[in-house]
Amino acid sequence: MNTELAIPDARARLTRAWLGRRWPTLLLSIVLASFAVGPQWLLTRELPYNLLVFAIPAQQALLLAALACNAFRFGIRPGVVGWPLLAVLLLLLQSVTAADLDPRLTVTRMMIAAFGLALPWSLPELAVESGMRARYALLIALLPSLCTGVGLVLQAAGLHLALAGSATRVFRLHGASNAGWLACLAFVGFAVALHEAIRGRRLGFAALAAVNVAIAVMTGGRMGLGAGVVFAVTYCLLDRGIRQRLARVPRPII
């Protein structure tokens, strides 16, 4: 047997096996990281409107494909209650039934909205590569900071306004997107960071939660801040450990 030929052939098989195992993980990591940039706002002057409108749906389609690849490779987690998905389907059915109330409520728009509502409830049901859950959480918690950093670099290069003022001379942070998109990223990053900080008692995630709140404030996004407050209060009320600690606090202080 020619060992010189056998060694490269073995390496090629190992490489294919490694890629076959890690490909869904790499794809999902890249797609998640891509949400730190909003191409629909960066490419406003470079792309015609009929192409620009597909920027967000393209990112969503890539995320759906990446999640499907992970589900196909690593399976579905058993025991996760899917009643929120049923609630979304019932809401979609009710919306389709009442669609004639407003001509702007097309079936396509309602399907896109239902997908957006169902996606967060679908994520816990999908299994990912062993050991990657905490890394995905860190990546999602870092997305607002990445968006801000990339935006500031683009602003320094004269390609994008990461910090822009309005007619009322109020400056809003846009990052590598716009204020609304960044506020949404900040809310999601805060929610994930808060969960990891409380669940794993990790000071690093607690710091990321504080950073994401600061970014949300700088965007001026009221809905993002409001959602963050509701999430934090609800999370604390549902967490048994936090409730036990609050029970030891004197009631006049509360």
In three-state secondary structure terms, 99 is helix
Between CA 94 and CA 179 the distance in angstroms is 32
In three-state secondary structure terms, 223 is helix
pLDDT at 1: 52
Between CA 204 and CA 224 the distance in angstroms is 22
Q: Which of 82-96, 124-138, 195-209 has the lowest mean pLDDT?
A: 82-96
Range with the largest mean pLDDT of 20-24, 44-48, 70-74, 190-194: 190-194
pLDDT at 236: 81
In three-state secondary structure terms, 213 is helix
Whether 15 shows a pLDDT value over 80: the answer reads: no
Confidence band (pLDDT; 50, 70, 90) for 239? confident
Query: What's the whole-number mean pLDDT along residues 81-96?
Result: 79
Tokens 């909205």 sit on residue: 113
- At 34, list the tokens: 């891509």
Higher pLDDT, 106 or 7: 106
Confidence band (pLDDT; 50, 70, 90) for 167? low
Whether 210 shows a pLDDT value over 90: the answer reads: yes
H/E element, 138: helix 133-156
CA nearest to 125, candidates 84, 90, 186: 84
Can you state the angle between helices 107-122 and 83-97, rounded to 10 degrees? 170
pTM attached to this predicted model = 0.78
